[in-house]
Structure 1
Amino acid sequence: MEIMKIAILVDGGFFDAVNKNRVNGMLPTADHVKQEVENTMRLIRAKTLTDSENIKDVLFRVYFYDARPFSGKKTNPQGEEYDFTLSKSYVAKTDLLNELARTDKFCLRLGMLSFAGWQPKIDDNGILTGYRPSFKQKGVDIKVGMDMVWIATHKVVDKIAIIGGDSDFIDPIEFAKREGIQVYLNHMGLKVKDELIQSCDFELK
């Protein structure tokens, strides 16, 4: 029996966006992430069985890419001070990251989240109803690309599975393939660019 090691790379921002509709608009929990990792492994093993019954796919490690929630205080244009640590989204994301950090075979790869200002909220009648905060994530996508290159160069695993949908991953995907790594894409049913799907060896669905 030939053992094939698999690294799963999860784009946390992508995962949040896909799952908000599944969990009534709230951020997903660590259990949602773990369930999708298990689903990804199941889909990979199903693909493998079509090629060979003498290969066993095993999970090497899950890399989870995200940023810790913004924890400062800001005053909106209406003069209202907002403490972001008191928000439900802050608590949910903090709980998710802390739980994943304690989970076997999970590795957190965190970038930075910076405050980018306030966006006006306009209702259907064109009336200003308030403001929502805007944030900018930094250093996350580049960590995904760097890790793919490092994993492929050092032959850490035989297969890489990406849970995400960013076309910026195409170049590191192509590099990993040239290094002999098979690449799988799980875009969780969200529409992504054909170029991203075509760059991978397998689309999981």
Structure 2
Amino acid sequence: MTKVAILIDGGYFLKRLRTVRPTTNREDAAAVCRDISRLVTSHLKQINKIERAAHPRALLYRSFYYDARPYLDKGHLPISAKGIDYAKTDRAKFHLALHDNLRRTSNMAVRLGEVRRDPDSLWELKPSVLRDLLKKNRDFADLTDDDFRPTFRQNAVDMRIGLDIASITLKRQADMIVLVAGDSDFVPAAKLARREGIKFVLDPLWRKVDENLFEHIDGLRSGFPKPQPKPEPKAKA
């Protein structure tokens, strides 16, 4: 019986969630956790159409969720210089709750990297604000704290994905790896897996991928139904 490992790039998953699961409250850690479980189960059901196991979950070696620990230090806002405790922000509370929910999920491993900030560039202008400044629609003197966003940088998340792919492959812990991701950073690890006879399936959550990636994977599919296009606004009479 085929054993399957399902690896989920958490940062990518959360970005795509608005598109593939528009009804999910993305601020509710328990609801997001349930969607992650639905994604895993959906992939197992698709594979089980061929394998015919007694139960789709019998195919699962383990699922893995990769993310970074939230930034929990203190700092100051860029314009007003008011103090901010990142541990008390909604973003930090959400990620802490999500990781805790996932740790309590059966056959789920949570792999966490770190979030760091460059002391020389703690803040950056939001893209829309920068465009307005370049077009001279706004003046620098009018900027407020809300026009900036903190420059969080994830560290060692992609490395953990690559290490797990290599470990699963070389230890023969699974016969198939399903990776939920959207970039090409996984290609070296995918090459290793496929050379060792592991089937490698990519789920980009319905985002279009580079045509060159197809030579490095054995299949492309999504665990969620294809999002329906937004209806075009009706023309005014």
Instruction: Give the TM interval when normalised to the shorter protein.
Output: 0.7 to 0.9
Alpha-carbon offset, residue 20 of structure 1 = 4.0
Alignment check: 8 A CA contact 1:43 1:204 kept: no
* Corresponding residue of 2:45: 42
Residues 1:163 and 2:164 aligned together = no
* CA radius of gyration, larger in: 2
Matches within 5 A, 1:21-100: 21=19, 22=22, 23=24, 26=27, 29-46=32-49, 49=50, 58-78=59-79, 79-100=81-102
Tell me how large the CA RMSD over aligned residues is.
2.3
List per-residue Cα deviations over 1:169-197 (Å, max 9, x = no partner).
01110110010101111111112222234
Alpha-carbon offset, residue 56 of structure 1 = 8.1
User: Residues of 2 paired with 1:118 and 1:86: CA distance?
Assistant: 19
User: Residues of 2 paired with 1:20 and 1:54: CA distance?
Assistant: 33
Structure 1: which amino acid aligns with 2:102?
L
Alpha-carbon offset, residue 24 of structure 1 = 6.2
User: Residues of 2 paired with 1:59 and 1:118: CA distance?
Assistant: 42
Number of matched pairs: 199
User: Residues of 2 paired with 1:89 and 1:98: CA distance?
Assistant: 14
**Residues 43 and 30 of structure 1: is their aligned pair in 2 closer, same or farther, counting only changes over 3 Å?**
same
> What secondary structure sits across from 2:71 in the alignment?
coil
> What secondary structure sits across from 1:191 in the alignment?
coil
Percent of aligned pairs with the same amino acid: 30
Aligned counterpart for 1:147 among listed residues 144, 157, 164: 164
Q: Which has the higher strand share?
A: 1
**Residues 54 and 96 of structure 1: is their aligned pair in 2 closer, same or farther, counting only changes over 3 Å?**
closer
Q: Which has the higher mean CA deviation after the structures are superposed, 114-123 or 65-74?
A: 114-123
* Corresponding residue of 1:4: 2
* Corresponding residue of 2:231: none
Alpha-carbon offset, residue 25 of structure 1 = 6.1
List per-residue Cα deviations over 1:18-63 (Å, max 9, x = no partner).
11453466476211211111222223334xx3xx768986111011
TM-score by length of 1: 0.87
Alignment check: 8 A CA contact 1:167 1:195 kept: no
> What secondary structure sits across from 1:146 in the alignment?
helix
User: Residues of 2 paired with 1:85 and 1:54: CA distance?
Assistant: 45
Q: Which has the higher mean CA deviation after the structures are superposed, 19-28 or 72-81?
A: 19-28
TM-score by length of 2: 0.76
